[in-house]
């Protein structure tokens, strides 16, 4: 009879995998020169584009300098509840209080190491509680399998998407509770675990919840195989499972409901259930084998699931173990097949992508497949207790290694050298495992084989992690810190010199490629100022459509391209300062270039964020021309008859292939104009704009602007060279316009004369007082949102929209005291649901404890 484990042994088996994972990562950080040991960082791709700025923003939130409820740093202004719940709600982010902005790369790397170490520990806990091990003593293979969960391909490759890693370490805890339900054990923690998983990161929690359904079915099937199927028991388990999952969602309502409401403000909140009817296959199923190798990367139609060379052999053994009965083998085979199929069959791909089309990071849910493999590996390790089984395991290792090499030569999907190295390690590690498992004659020899096996297994996982860390890290810490320091000083200088209300825009960001394109549009959040830029997974479509009409085009589902300065649009939106490395006609340079490569330019034409105007009754004529659309807005607000923008003449000479053209633009002979161009395209293509033989920007492609600025050459010709390899431009709709600064100045004077008294604009609250005459209205450049409560003299305001975006509030003759207060949608309801569910949850435990105590009394 096996000896009962002590509490110390149980704790040791959980802690060792976590410590080993952490030590391996810290060693690899040191060896690869990652911060804090060097100048490299895991802040790559979207982590560099978005998350670094979000962490700067969250530091301000923790310091009380910014708001989660509403921030004017999010594009034109909006709630950040969905930004918080998706990117920032992990408890690990509270560690930000211990790091300076210049140490964010260190923070990022350390938190990745902590989350992956915790993942190894939670998997070890799952394995310990889920299995009834046939081995009494401590076996390192279980720790190695748990470390494989922490250092798997997904975790290293997705380390830049740091917020998804919370779902990785929460998954084993949730699934253990489901296993307990099926096996008649206590599972009271399921609602709590599901609830906090959603709060930590609702997206990865959604993946966990979907996988939990498959896991529940698998566990029920295992139970039915081992014991006689009982319909009553099935219904009871199903009810407990559903009640636990629903209760978990209800516990998270305080954050989940407001997030849901915020996501509905854009197309990102819609779900594509229709895609479930697409039964097509993606890629080629056999690619999963050669992709199970060192350094492999997941691609659309080809998934990489490496989590240890021995783990896959043990998992396959668990499927083909002839000692467990054909029904159980068939069930395990089906489980493994469904796991792989989730990456290659479109309905499962859409389901695990949370019914959204994942245009990047296609297999962002592949950690659940890693869990499946490692669970089978646990079963396999637990069931090898005879030498014939060990021989079968060695045979599987040889066959799998052979398939790795053969399929790699059939179709090259990975580095061949890495495939060879993996194939060798599969066989070597299997041999060492067998030796360590079945050496029972000589204790010293057993220790030797176990030590060698432990080293080999650790090196195996570390080697894959090292290769991937090299691929998913960049050497930009010094450069980024220098930029952060310079940008902080620039924004601080503006705020110190000007205490009024305004927005700030910029024509260049922290990272501008040679193509002059950028996606780094969250600096307003990072440095806490109001702007017109933003890039989040929860944009407000009302704002994006408005910016698009002004000439700042919608790009994808997340952002608008705002790396130009369109003076008429900027002035209307209250952009008073523009940061730019080059001079712009109509703006006044007030500082030299700082360490961020930008000078500060003053827009003296900027309108106040709120002003009273005479209601002209003018109805805007919709147009796709951004310059004419701005003319329409100015006519509605100011009743002007002159054109703010007017078209200027140009001549087109088409290229020989009719794809590009050289355009001679006739610049007006006047100093009071700013010239812009716009060449509409029919579809994206690799194109470029040159102005007077100087490269201006990539064009008609991902991240490219539409409107481009042309230096006023004062009555001279300007050549705009539009280059392309495709006939993608609509030459009949080419637009070249001049902005009349005299008219803009006139409108600016009218707007500034109508500034209200006591105007106060803070995140989520606006108050002002304005004396109005009959027929006056108040324009305020706060974007429309159903969650604003607007009152005039204590009563509900009558508000319309300017450009279907900004508020226009009807005023009464005399004094108008106006307040605007933002309320997070569903927050109160969420609090009530969470509090009620938590009360019932606690009450349930209390009542059970009282019943147990009562039953215990003789």
3 state SS for 470-532: HHCCECCHHHHHHHHHHHHHHHHHHHHHCCCCCEEEECCCCCCCCCCCCCCCCHHHHHCCCCC
Find the mean pLDDT for residues 689-702: 94
Q: What pLDDT shows up at residue 610? A: 95
- List the one residue out of 751, 756, 808 whose CA is nearest residue 780: 808
Task: Tell me how far the alpha carbon of residue 727 is from its chain's centroid.
Answer: 35
If asked whether residues 732 and 761 sit together in one domain, one would say no
The better pLDDT of the pair 289, 228 is held by 289
Same domain for 833 and 815, yes or no, is no
Q: Is the pTM of this model over 0.75?
A: yes
Say how many residues make up the chain.
858
CA distance 97 to 311: 39
pLDDT, mean of residues 266-271: 68
Q: Which long-range contacts (CB under 8 A, 24 or more apart) does 34-39 make?
A: 34/109, 34/469, 34/473, 35/105, 35/106, 35/109, 35/477, 36/106, 36/109, 36/110, 38/475, 38/477, 39/475, 39/476, 39/477, 39/478
* Average pLDDT of span 813-827: 95
What's the confidence (pLDDT) of residue 268? Answer: 63
Range of the domain at 200: 164-270+826-858
In a domain, 289, yes or no: no
40 located within any domain? no
| Same domain for 660 and 775 | no
pLDDT band at 439, cuts 50/70/90? low
Read off φ and ψ for residue 659, nearest 5 degrees.
Answer: -90, -40
Residue 539 covered by a domain: yes
pLDDT at 857: 47
Counting the structural domains of the chain, the total is 4
Helix axes 309-320, 367-383, angle to 10 degrees: 70
What is the structure's pLDDT at 250? 96
**Tell me, what CATH number does 727's domain have?**
2.60.120
Cα separation, 539 vs 268, in Å, equals 8
Q: Are residues 661 and 589 in the same domain?
A: no
Indicate whether 199 and 218 sit together in one domain. yes
In this structure, the answer to whether residues 551 and 578 fall within a common structural domain is yes
3-state secondary structure of 651: strand
Residues 735 and 761 in one domain: no
Element (H, E) at 739: strand 735-740
Asked if the model's pLDDT at residue 6 lies above 80, the reply is no
Q: Using CA atoms in the order 660, 718, 506, 742, what is the torsion angle rounded to 10 degrees?
A: -130
Asked whether residue 502 falls in the same domain as residue 573, the answer is yes
Residue 125 and residue 378 in contact, taking contact as beta carbons nearer than 8 Å: no
Last residue of a domain, one of 574, 595, 614: 614
Per the domain annotation, does 406 fall within a domain?
no
Q: Are residue 486 and residue 608 in the same domain, yes or no?
A: yes
pLDDT of residue 2: 46
Residue at which a domain ends, from 719, 747, 775: 747
Residue 374 lies in a domain: no
722 and 604, same domain (yes or no) = no
**192 domain-assigned:** yes
Give me 736's structure tokens.
Answer: 């070249």
Per-residue pLDDT band at 269 (split at 50, 70, 90): low
Q: 510 lies in a domain?
A: yes
Helix (H) or strand (E) holding 789: strand 788-792
Structure tokens at 22: 């952490």
pLDDT band at 5 (very low <50, low <70, confident <90, very high): low
Least confidently predicted of 292-301, 436-445, 479-488, 605-614? 436-445
Taking 70 as the threshold, does the pLDDT of residue 396 lie above it? yes
Report whether the peptide linkage leading into residue 36 is cis, meaning its omega lies within 30 degrees of zero: yes
For residues 538 and 482, membership in a common domain is answered with yes
End-to-end CA distance of the chain: 33
Over residues 622-636, the pLDDT tens digits come to 999 999 999 999 999
Q: Check whether residue 497 and residue 604 sit in a common domain.
A: yes
In which band, very low, low, confident or very high, does the pLDDT at 852 lie, cut at 50, 70 and 90? low
Distance CA 544, CA 558 (A): 9
Does residue 357 lie in a domain region?
no
Question: What is the sign of the dihedral through the CA atoms of 631, 632, 638 and 642?
Answer: positive
Q: For 732-738, what is the mean pLDDT?
A: 95
């Amino acid at each position: 009879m096996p000896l009962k484990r002590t509490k110390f042994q149980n704790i040791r088996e959980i802690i060792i995998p976590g410590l080993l994972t952490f030590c391996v990562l810290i060693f690899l950080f040191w060896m690869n020169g990652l911060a804090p040991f060097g100048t490299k960082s895991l802040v790559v791709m979207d982590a560099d584009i978005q998350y670094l700025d979000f962490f700067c923003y969250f530091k301000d939130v923790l310091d009380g300098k910014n708001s989660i409820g509403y921030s004017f740093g999010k594009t034109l202004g909006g709630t950040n509840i969905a930004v918080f719940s998706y990117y920032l709600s992990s408890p690990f982010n509270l560690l930000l209080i211990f790091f300076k902005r210049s140490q964010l790369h260190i923070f990022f790397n350390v938190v990745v190491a902590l989350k992956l170490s915790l993942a190894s520990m939670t998997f070890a806990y799952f394995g310990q509680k889920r299995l009834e091990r046939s081995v009494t003593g401590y076996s390192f293979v279980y720790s190695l399998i748990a470390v494989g969960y922490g250092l798997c391909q997904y975790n290293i490759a997705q380390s830049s998407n740091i917020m998804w890693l919370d779902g990785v370490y929460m998954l084993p805890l949730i699934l253990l509770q489901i296993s307990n339900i099926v096996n008649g054990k206590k599972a009271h923690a399921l609602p709590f675990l599901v609830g906090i998983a959603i709060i930590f990161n609702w997206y990865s929690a959604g993946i966990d919840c979907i996988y939990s359904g498959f896991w529940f079915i698998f566990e029920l099937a295992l139970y039915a195989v081992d014991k006689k199927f009982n319909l009553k028991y099935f219904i009871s388990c199903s009810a407990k499972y559903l009640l636990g999952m629903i209760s978990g969602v209800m516990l998270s309502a305080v954050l989940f409901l407001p997030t849901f409401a915020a996501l509905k403000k854009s197309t990102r909140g819609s779900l594509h259930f229709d895609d479930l009817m697409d039964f097509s296959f993606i890629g080629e199923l056999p690619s999963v084998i050669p992709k199970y190798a060192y350094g492999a990367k997941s691609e659309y139609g080809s998934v990489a699931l490496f989590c240890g060379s021995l783990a896959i052999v043990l998992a396959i053994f668990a499927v083909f173990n002839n000692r467990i009965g054909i029904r159980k083998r068939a069930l395990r085979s089906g489980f493994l097949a469904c796991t792989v199929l989730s990456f290659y069959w479109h309905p499962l791909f859409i389901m695990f992508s949370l019914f959204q089309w994942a245009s990047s990071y296609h297999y962002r849910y592949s950690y659940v497949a890693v869990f499946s493999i490692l669970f089978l590996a646990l079963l396999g390790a637990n069931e090898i207790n005879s030498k014939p089984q060990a021989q079968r395991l060695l045979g599987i290792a040889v066959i799998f290694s052979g398939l790795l090499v053969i399929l790699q030569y059939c179709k090259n999907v990975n580095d061949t050298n890495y495939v060879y190295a993996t194939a060798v390690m599969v066989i070597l590690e299997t041999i060492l495992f067998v030796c360590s498992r079945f050496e029972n004659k000589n204790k010293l020899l057993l220790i030797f084989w176990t030590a060698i096996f432990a080293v080999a297994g650790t090196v195996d996982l570390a080697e894959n992690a090292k290769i991937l860390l090299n691929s998913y890290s960049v050497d930009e810490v010094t450069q980024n810190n220098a930029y952060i320091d310079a940008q902080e000083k620039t924004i601080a200088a503006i705020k110190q010199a000007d205490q009024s209300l305004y927005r700030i825009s910029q024509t260049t960001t922290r990272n501008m490629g040679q193509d002059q394109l950028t996606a780094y549009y969250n600096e307003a959040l990072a440095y806490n100022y109001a702007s017109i830029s933003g890039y989040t997974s929860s944009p407000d479509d009302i704002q994006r459509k408005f910016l698009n009409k002004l000439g700042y085009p919608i790009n994808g589902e997340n952002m608008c391209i705002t790396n130009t300065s369109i003076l008429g649009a900027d002035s209307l939106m209250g952009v008073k300062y523009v940061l730019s490395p080059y001079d712009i006609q109509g703006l006044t340079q007030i500082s030299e270039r700082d360490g961020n490569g930008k000078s500060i330019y003053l827009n003296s034409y900027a309108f106040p964020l709120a002003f009273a105007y005479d209601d002209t009754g003018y109805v805007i004529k919709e147009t796709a021309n951004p310059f004419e659309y701005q003319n329409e807005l100015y006519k509605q607000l100011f009743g002007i008859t002159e054109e703010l923008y007017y078209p200027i003449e140009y001549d087109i000479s088409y290229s020989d292939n009719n794809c590009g053209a050289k355009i001679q633009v006739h610049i007006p002979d006047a100093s009071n104009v700013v010239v812009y161009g716009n060449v509409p395209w029919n579809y994206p293509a690799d194109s470029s704009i040159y102005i007077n033989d100087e490269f201006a920007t990539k064009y008609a492609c991902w991240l490219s602007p539409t409107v481009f600025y042309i230096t006023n050459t004062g009555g001279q010709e300007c050549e705009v060279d539009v280059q392309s390899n495709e006939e993608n431009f609509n030459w009949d709709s080419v637009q070249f316009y001049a902005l009349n600064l005299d008219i803009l100045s006139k409108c600016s004077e009218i707007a500034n004369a109508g500034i209200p008294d006591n105007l106060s604009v803070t995140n989520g609250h606006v108050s002002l007082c304005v004396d109005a005459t009959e027929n006056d209205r108040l324009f305020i450049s706060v974007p429309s949102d159903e969650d604003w409560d607007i009152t005039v003299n204590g009563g509900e305001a009558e508000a319309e929209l300017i450009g279907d975006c900004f508020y226009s509030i009807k005023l009464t003759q005399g004094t108008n005291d106006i307040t605007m207060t933002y309320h997070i949608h569903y927050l109160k309801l969420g609090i009530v649901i969470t509090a009620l569910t938590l009360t019932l949850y606690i009450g349930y435990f209390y009542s059970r404890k009282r019943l147990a105590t009562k039953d215990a009394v003789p």
